[in-house]
Homo-oligomer: A and B are copies of this chain.
Amino acid sequence: MYQQKININTRGRGSYDATREVQQVVAQSNVEQGLCHVFVHHTSASLMLCENADPTVRADLDRFMARLVPDGDPLFEHIDEGPDDMPAHIRTILTSTGLTIPVQHGRCDLGTWQGIYLWEHRTHGHRRSISITVAD
C-alpha cells in the first residue's frame, strides 16, 4: 500500500476541491487497479463527493447545512470555541470523515460529475491534515 499525507489550508467555512491533489497521489502510487482511501484527521471538517460543474450546488449545500445545523443553536452546551464549534462536529458526523474510491487505469475512477471536496465546517480557516492510501 502507498500512503501519503497532504495538508490543505482552508480560508474558513466552505468546500475546497481536492480532486487534483488526490489524483496526483494515485499517479505517484503507480497503482493501476485498486482502491484509494482519503481520510481527514479532524472532527470539524469532512470529505464529500459532490457535483463539480455548477458552483451553485455547493452554495446551496452550505445554505442547507446552515439551516439544518444552525450556529449558536441554544440546544448546544459545547460552545467553548464559539457558536460554530458544535455545529462543525455535527456536520462532520452527518457527512464523511473518509472516502473510498475505485482506482482504474491509474486514476480514481470518478463519475463525470463527481469531484472530491474537503468541507471546512469552522468559520475560520484551518490547516487540515489528510491521509491518502492507495491499495492494489
Contact = CB atoms under 8 A, between A and B. Distances in A.
Contacts of A69: 64
A89 B129 CA distance: 26
Interface of A is mostly: mixed
A60 B77 contact: yes
Interface of A: 1, 3, 33-35, 37, 39-43, 48-51, 54, 56-57, 59-61, 63-64, 67-69, 75-78, 80, 86, 89-90, 92-102, 104, 109-114, 129, 131, 133, 135-136
Given A41-B110, A60-B78, A111-B129, 16 more contacts: A1-B135, A34-B133, A37-B100, A39-B100, A39-B102, A50-B89, A59-B77, A60-B76, A60-B86, A60-B89, A61-B89, A94-B95, A97-B99, A97-B114, A98-B101, A102-B131
